[in-house]
Amino acid sequence: MDKDKKIEELVGEVLVQIGEDPKREGLVKTPYRVAKAYDYIFGGYDKDPKEALGDALFESSSSEMVVVRDIEFYSMCEHHILPFFGRVHVAYIPNGKVVGLSKIPRVVDIFARRLQIQEKLTEQIADALMEAINPKGVGVVISARHMCMEMRGVEKMHASTTTSSLRGLFLKDAKTREEFYSIINTHGGNRF
């Protein structure tokens, strides 16, 4: 049985177990739709972040901080399989090479499209960039809302969680860290 068919079968069983009738009109195609949604939502498992970055490295004499901020992401909490979502801010200081800017959000998506916890997601993005482009430093900050806190449990609407992962100069040098935090905390700025 292929993966999608197995997911459909299991979703049908979940519907029965929560008290639903998977044969009623609104639910007949739900197992199929969930299987297709899961293909997309969990599509990061079959992608390699090194490959995403590897074909877009370019020689450069630039040594100034490169920041890509406000990268929207959606992920699924590994504890409750409920969504969490927010924004990722990524910075690095080149060390002879720069990476194509579109590749950074791709790396975010690769890791976000797996069962996750926010802390691990932050670390994975920083580690992947350090390994692939060997910069002088990397900074990653994620701010997110977690449906496992809003829909159940403590039921605290709009509570956000912020995590950071710093490598190289971002960890060692206070001025570099302050510049990064200043850039990502500037509201408005060059918004298009």
Per-residue pLDDT in tens (0 to 9) along the chain, 192 residues: 799 999 999 999 999 999 999 999 999 999 999 999 999 999 999 999 988 887 788 999 999 999 999 999 999 999 999 999 999 999 999 999 999 999 999 999 999 999 999 999 999 999 999 999 999 999 999 999 999 999 888 888 889 999 999 999 999 999 999 999 999 998 755 554
The CATH number of domain 3-41, selected from 1.20.1250.20, 3.40.50.720, 1.10.286.10, 1.10.760.10: 1.10.286.10
The pLDDT, as a whole number, for residue 188 is: 58
Give start-end residues of each CATH 3.30.1130.10 domain in the chain.
Answer: 49-184
The CATH number of domain 49-184, selected from 3.30.590.10, 3.90.76.10, 3.20.20.300, 3.30.1130.10: 3.30.1130.10
Question: In what side-by-side order are the strands of the sheet with 66-77?
Answer: 115-116, 66-77, 83-93, 137-146, 161-168
Give start-end residues of each CATH 1.10.286.10 domain in the chain.
Answer: 3-41
pTM of the model: 0.92
CA dihedral (24, 29, 32, 34) positive or negative: negative
80 carries an active-site annotation: yes
List alpha helices for the chain, DSSP H: 3-17, 30-41, 49-54, 103-112, 118-133, 147-150, 169-172, 174-184
Can you tell me the distance from the alpha carbon of 136 to that of 178, in angstroms, rounded to the nearest whole number?
Answer: 16
Which residues, including other chains, have CB under 8 Å from residue 86's CB and lie 6 or more apart?
72, 73, 142, 143, 144, 145, 160
8 carries an active-site annotation: no
77 carries an active-site annotation: yes
Q: Which of 13, 79, 119, 178 is catalytic?
A: 79
> Which of 72, 75, 111, 107 has its CA nearest to residue 89?
72
89 carries an active-site annotation: no
Q: Which of 20, 123, 148, 150 is catalytic?
A: 148
The pLDDT, as a whole number, for residue 157 is: 86
Q: Which of 13, 78, 119, 131 is catalytic?
A: 78
Q: Which of 8, 89, 116, 118 is catalytic?
A: 118
